[in-house]
A and B are shown apart, each in its own frame.
Chain A
């Protein structure tokens, strides 16, 4: 039976290979896990005490056979932890706590979905795309990067072969739309106005400025927006209280844990 409550497990790397600026790593774990798109794992594998803390990585895919599990991650080297992770090889041990956090929600009344990934943020929205693709749902994908080489390979995009589904955006115009994903979304919203009132929901993960721009664009138009936030975190399961962000609570606001009440929040509740 797959489980969905968090566990601390020891795994073994099956492969950990670079593809452009991204690494794709699959890890064998004792049991198959169930996860909600947007959930993550805390991962560490380097020996010694430095760096001290595990790193949060979005769960990209979960699978397994005959009672054994496997889980896959996509990451980009951004600091010492991910640099050390990128140096690990097949057969190396890895410690993981997973699945963690509150993932994306898929309310039944939403008929069409726009999934937005900025930078390596696609690693948390592609699992949502895979789930929607499995349900034959109506969805489109917006991917933003500084330049062409920083976009994920096309074959990684779930359901990406469907014509018109994938919108690439680059800051320097080397691929797809010349501009930000928020600008591309604005164009898409304008086109939608003429094509009927279908209810749209946006799921987004990426740099804070991108998420903020999307919220400012879509919320006044009554488009539902869920954002997956990033934060430095020590534990990942709600006990260090280091990763908090300000979230609206009625008339006031309070600090909520990105690792537990998030990482996915309703954009209306985030104090931008």
Chain B
């Protein structure tokens, strides 16, 4: 009889210790509370909540999502309850649930980003702040800061100075050199980079001659983006010394393992949550099963061990 040892799945993103490398991706997990009927959200490495702005944001007009081959386009426009309601109404319930949580933040101006980061810094249990410098679906802010190294660097420096919380910077894939962008975030004081956000895409109806989304363009996510995301995560891992969190099309444990293999410190699961509300915990279980089968005792023994040639 063989004795099976439970593998150590703990992961570290800078100073943030996670019980496992699986997190929910911002914008696909609400404020976390919506998943409590399905499972105990403290089982996740961390919950990344929907992007928060200084004031409540109404979001884009309907016609916000469209399905595409093995993926979907969205242009939600960051509809959210605003940072104040999050701090007062949601955060205490995440505390009660025992969840490790990270707040994704967004501003139309650098000053708004700073104000949101300062307000969130009052939350003792908040594990980190994830800077959304890459939303493709809003006119101001977001990608305007994240699409070139200078813009990203300026924003990151200012928010870095505004909060003592670990600062993760979420990167856009809609750039020519992801390594250069990741280095700009690192040099400006980011504790980690998370990537990729969605890839800008478009869908039109040939008969009505109208775009499928009210915003005309939207962000592509789902299995269709995974090879692009994997390549970019691999490049970012080579470009920076800070941890890289891999995101993009992860549907199952096998997909998550691929990102860990190319060097990601942890992963975020997004669109898969829409298809299967239990996706994140099934991926945690699947990684554990894989490690048991492969006799891998610690995540650290596997992470970044891609064999080239």
Contacts and interface: CB of A to CB of B under 8 A. Distances in A.
Do these two chains interact?
yes
The A contact surface, by secondary structure, is loop
A255 B251 contact: no
A53 B223 contact: no
B273 interface: yes
B248 to A, nearest CB: 14
B65 A49 contact: no
A238 B37 contact: no
A251 interface: no
Contact of A52 (B50, B59, B76, B223): B223
Q: Majority SS of interface residues in chain B?
A: loop
A263 to B, nearest CB: 14
A106 interface: no
Given A6-B38, A239-B29, A244 B59 contact: yes
Contacts of B37: 5-7
A8 B59 contact: no
Nearest to A79: B67
Contacts of B79: 241, 244, 255
B39 to A, nearest CB: 9
A22 B98 CA distance: 47
Nearest to B63: A232
B115 interface: no
Interface in B253-306: 271, 273-278
B71 interface: yes
Contacts of B34: 237-239
Contact of B274 (A49, A51, A53, A245): A53
A255 B59 contact: yes
B169 interface: no
Contacts of A240: 28, 65, 74, 76, 274
A44 interface: yes
Contacts of B27: 241
**Residue from A7, A235, A237 having most chain B Cβ neighbours under 10 A:** A235
Interface of B: 27-30, 34-35, 37-38, 50, 58-59, 62, 64-67, 69-72, 74, 76, 79, 222-223, 251, 271, 273-278
25 contacts: A6-B37, A8-B38, A8-B278, A51-B67, A52-B67, A53-B67, A53-B275, A95-B276, A231-B62, A234-B72, A234-B74, A237-B277, A239-B30, A239-B273, A239-B274, A240-B74, A240-B76, A241-B50, A241-B76, A241-B79, A242-B64, A242-B65, A242-B74, A244-B62, A245-B62
Q: Top 3 nearest A-B pairs by Cβ distance?
A: A242-B65, A239-B30, A235-B274
